[in-house]
Amino acid sequence: MKNFSFVRANSLDEALSSLGSDWKEAAVMGGGTDLIGEMKDYIQSPDKVVNLKQIDELRYIRNGGRSVRIGALSTVSAVETDPLIVENFTALSKAAGLVASPQLRNMGTIAGNICQRPRCWYYRDPEVPCLRKGGARCYSIGGENKYHAILGGYRCYIVHPSDTAVAFTAHDARITITNTKGSKTVDIGDFFVLPRENPNRENILEPGDIVTEIEIPVPDRGTKSTFIKIQEREVWDFATASVAVALTMNGNRCTKARVVLGAAAPAPWRSPDAEKELEGKTITEAVAKAAGDASVYGSNPMTDNGYKVQLFKNIVKRAILELV
């Protein structure tokens, strides 16, 4: 990889002051499980790497009253097993437990997981000048696209690789972003961006920004959630398809629903159409099937990934019935 300077920041202020105003100038490292691979493949070649691992103030999971607050440097394994998460946010605990391998979950940070870059083989190939890396086109169009997007694609058809981002979206999380000018908190739906908005980025982070906290509101009484992940290998793998479903129930009647697809689009894909099929209704197998069918309304499969349409219909139905 290219030579770079290394800053081991001991505080958030030190980390922020070390970051520059350009992506080439500096990169932020949490666990480093994604960044180092990109640097080895010359996909990212920063002049400086700012290591956040020593910043204990960003490592916590605590009760915030009406919410649970998760520091950006909390490990994926900590999120998986924390009693507050397990008790209140089953989908998130399950999703975290299905990330990579135990070793990587112990090392990877939760903010790094939601901010990881795509796994598309064209993007990850240093010899391919794809659109996301500043090239002229997306090579999945007319190329090998078995794992690519069926929803939300526009010129670029990557799928977002994070399992936890799907669950966070189903739980209506909010993301706090900090830079030298201060902090702001955004809804998770406003954090991720689609290729139509920016074909080179997956989120709204700018040079000098650091994700510092993820906040999840405590769900209403009667809320249950789950996460289902389909992967080709029984050992750890990225999702071929996944879904997080959260239902607030009054008896057998659903009063609020969240249905979010993973590995379907360039961002976690919330499906209002599926949610409309559930809210205000008694959940039966027929209602669950209707929601599954609705979850892929507007899908536009490519030459090799049409199988995903039926796969998502099935796992959405399965997740809903699991909860009731």
CATH number at residue 165: 3.30.465.10
| CA 75/CA 97 separation, integer angstroms | 11
Mean per-residue pLDDT for 181-200? 97
Q: Are residues 240 and 266 in the same domain?
A: yes
Q: Are residues 240 and 111 in the same domain?
A: no
According to the model, what pLDDT value does residue 171 have?
A: 98
Q: Are residues 108 and 172 in the same domain?
A: yes
Residue 140 forms part of a structural domain: no
Q: Are residues 184 and 254 in the same domain?
A: no
Q: Are residues 102 and 200 in the same domain?
A: yes
Q: Are residues 210 and 272 in the same domain?
A: no
For 18-55, the three-class secondary structure string (H helix, E strand, C coil) is HCCCCCCCCEEECCCCCHHHHHHCCCCCCCEEEECCCC
According to the model, what pLDDT value does residue 227 have?
A: 98
Q: Are residues 178 and 310 in the same domain?
A: no
Residue 288 forms part of a structural domain: yes
According to the model, what pLDDT value does residue 235 have?
A: 81
Residue 122 forms part of a structural domain: no
| CA 317/CA 113 separation, integer angstroms | 27
Write the pLDDT tens digit of every residue in 16-31: 999 999 988 999 999 9
Spatial contact of 78 and 36, defined as CB atoms under 8 Å apart: no
According to the model, what pLDDT value does residue 48 have?
A: 96
pLDDT band at 192 (very low <50, low <70, confident <90, very high): very high
Encoded tokens for 218: 């405590």
Range of 240's domain?
223-323
Percent of the chain with pLDDT over 90: 97
Indicate the DSSP class of residue 2: -
Spatial contact of 43 and 34, defined as CB atoms under 8 Å apart: no
According to the model, what pLDDT value does residue 236 have?
A: 87
Domain harbouring 293, CATH code? 3.30.390.50
As for how many domains the chain has, the answer is: 2
How many residues belong to the chain? 324
Q: Is the pTM of this model over 0.95?
A: yes
Write the pLDDT tens digit of every residue in 208-236: 999 999 999 999 999 999 999 999 987 88
Q: Are residues 63 and 202 in the same domain?
A: yes
| CA 56/CA 59 separation, integer angstroms | 5
Write the pLDDT tens digit of every residue in 58-108: 999 999 999 999 999 999 999 999 999 999 999 999 999 999 999 999 999
Mean per-residue pLDDT for 50-60? 97
Residue 35 forms part of a structural domain: no
Write the pLDDT tens digit of every residue in 274-302: 999 999 999 999 999 999 999 999 999 99
Q: Are residues 237 and 88 in the same domain?
A: no
